[in-house]
Amino acid sequence: MFRKSLGMYTIHTDGRIVQCSISSKLRKNLEYWWDVSQSPGMHKRVKQVHDIREVDPVAIGDHVRFVGAPDDAQSHCADEGMIVEVLPRRNAFSRPAAGRKPIEQVIVANVDQVMPVFAAREPTPKWRQLDRYIAAAELAGVPSIICINKIDLAQAEDSIDEIAAMYGHVGYRVLLTSATTGEGIDAFAEALRGRVTALTGRSGVGKTSLLNAMQPELGLRVGQVSQATGKGRHTTSQLEMFPLAGGGAIVDTPGMREFEIRHEPAGGGLASLFVEMRPYIGQCRFGLGCEHWHEPDCAIKEATEAGEIAQMRYDSYVHILRHMPGKRH
């Protein structure tokens, strides 16, 4: 499913494009699938938005089963249908839905990778935000590729090479690009080709320019949709997935809420979303009960002091931990 707008869904199938509505049965059945009422703190946030009446059972990227309109080969109306089933999702990014009930709205599903885009300068990168994006992607079980754009503006004091090396050491691929000089554009295009990518990053980092450098007009088309999404009231109903000329597709996710971490994974907890912390989980004095913050004899704090875990990553960990719903530190 590539696009949706006020109850109409655009489906790509076998080279055809089909406009679909959804069956009312499906809407009713799926309305409460994404109930996350166990997550405290949700209720308050949800109440602040008033414009969406219900949760949409179909998300961008969903694989769906649909039935066609009466088959009339002569008619041009043949490319209309009705979605009757949403197939199980490989992964999903969601946000709290509007309305009174603490439910989640899936924004995009079945992506192959997430690509957070930051600028070396203008705007100043917030690396903690990058850590939040990639931790949220880990939670969804989706790999991340980091893109640092405007590399032509980087000054020595920005330490871009050191930061890129640090993330590389953790295990993430880092692309250094400049839409202005063309540096890294081939690698950028190659990283997107043939895959479904959720692109994320605040406005001004150069996403439009990067996409245009890769495929003429692509960035402009994406930008038009995300502008409408940012301003419009129906914030979740106008997302769109854009096919790439060489195969694959991108979806522009604003990233503010769908990359929030609203619950800790079982087992290793939040630390397990920080790849380099994983080997230390369970090694602390308090074992799996350690939050790696105030506790004594914490293997993760010791590894940070020893320089095996980067201080800025550890600081991001603590920041995310403190801001999780239900934590009152």
Would you tell me which residues interact with ligand GDP (CB under 6 A)?
Answer: 149-150, 152-153, 178-180, 203-209, 223
| Residue 303 interacting with Zn ion (CB under 5 A) | no
Q: How far is the CB of 151 from ligand GDP (least distance, A)?
A: 7
Residue 298 binding: pick among Zn ion, ligand GDP, none (C-beta 5-8 Å cut-off by kind): Zn ion
Output the CA angle 90-92-96, nearest 5 degrees: 155
Helix, strand, or coil (residue 130): helix
| Residue 300 interacting with Zn ion (CB under 5 A) | yes
* Closer of 99 and 223 to ligand GDP (Cβ): 223
Residues 6+ apart with CB under 8 A from 176: 148, 151, 160, 164, 183, 184
Where does this chain touch Zn ion (CB under 5 A) — which range of 51-59, 97-105, 182-190, 278-286? 278-286
Where does this chain touch Zn ion (CB under 5 A) — which range of 172-180, 182-190, 191-199, 287-295? 287-295
Q: How far is the CB of 317 from Zn ion (least distance, A)?
A: 11
| Residue 298 interacting with Zn ion (CB under 5 A) | yes
Q: How far is the CB of 282 from ligand GDP (least distance, A)?
A: 41
Q: Are 136 and 107 within 8 A, CB to CB?
A: no
Residue 208 binding: pick among ligand GDP, Zn ion, none (C-beta 5-8 Å cut-off by kind): ligand GDP
Neighbour-count burial of 253, counting CB atoms closer than 10 A to its CB (0-12 exposed, 13-18 middle, 19+ buried) = buried
Q: How far is the CB of 203 from ligand GDP (least distance, A)?
A: 4
Structure tokens at 277: 């912390």
CA distance 7 to 54: 12
Which residues, listed in sequence order, are joined to residue 64 by a DSSP beta bridge? 86
Region for 49 from its dihedrals, namely left if φ exceeds 0, alpha if ψ lies in -120 to 50, beta otherwise: beta
Neighbour-count burial of 114, counting CB atoms closer than 10 A to its CB (0-12 exposed, 13-18 middle, 19+ buried) = buried
Residue 205 binding: pick among ligand GDP, Zn ion, none (C-beta 5-8 Å cut-off by kind): ligand GDP
Residues found near Zn ion in the complex (CB under 5 A): 284, 290, 292, 298, 300
